[in-house]
Chain A
Amino acid sequence: AQSVTQLGSHVSVSEGALVLLRCNYSSSVPPYLFWYVQYPNQGLQLLLKYTSAATLVKGINGFEAEFKKSETSFHLTKPSAHMSDAAEYFCAVSEPEYGNKLVFGAGTILRVKS
């Protein structure tokens, strides 16, 4: 069965600092992995996805994530945080054998301090 664990329900960084949001997954087969961002009172927007091509995936707004099979991780990073990055971020996994249904982590709220 698939599951996703996001370490840290709240992360706070200073503007200009590195953003690191952690995601670990469990899956019996190589999964598809996603990061979504949700701004207040809005829907979810896809940041990036891993689908078994390059292990380092670049997304929108300067974010990237690296798939590490040995660590079953898919951490999200951004070199320099902007105030506009403040939002909630969700990691998700899907597997073909489960009909590609998405299983979400609990989410991490990112706060950016000026």
Chain B
Amino acid sequence: NAGVTQTPKFQVLKTGQSMTLQCAQDMNHEYMSWYRQDPGMGLRLIHYSVGAGITDQGEVPNGYNVSRSTTEDFPLRLLSAAPSQTSVYFCASRGQSSGNTIYFGEGSWLTVV
């Protein structure tokens, strides 16, 4: 029972590099989302998806792209990393089977130098 799986757990990038944070869930959840966590600011929603082929922007979408080609996967792409994107990133999912409870991955620690 894997739940929500994020990779990589740790990553260091140089400014301007691109990378993709992977997120997969095995609970057949319709709703998936990405948050970033910064000290003193809680978790802020970056992008979310209510089903395959459907994505929308959250509170802080700039600098990030997402796609949802399958129900299971929801990758987050940084096209040109900036130091301001140094953060901890959490993927989350929710479905009819979980009611209103959102389940989180273990987090991805990203440092942009």
Contact = CB atoms under 8 A, between A and B. Distances in A.
Nearest to B50: A99
Nearest to A96: B100
B42 A105 contact: yes
Interface stretch (B61-69, B75-83, B101-109): B101-109
A104 interface: yes
A36 B106 CA distance: 13
B100 A49 contact: yes
Interface residues of B, number: 24
Nearest to B109: A41
Q: Which of B44, B58, B100 has the most CB of A within 10 A?
A: B100
Main secondary structure of the interface of A (DSSP, over half): strand
B31 interface: yes
A104 B90 contact: no
B74 interface: no
Contacts of A9: 40
A101 B42 contact: no
B59 to A, nearest CB: 8
B93 to A, nearest CB: 12
Contacts of B71: none
Interface string A77-114: 00000000000001010100001111111110000000
B43 interface: yes
Contacts of B29: none
B94 A100 contact: yes
Contacts of B31: 99-100
A43 B106 contact: yes
Nearest to B98: A46
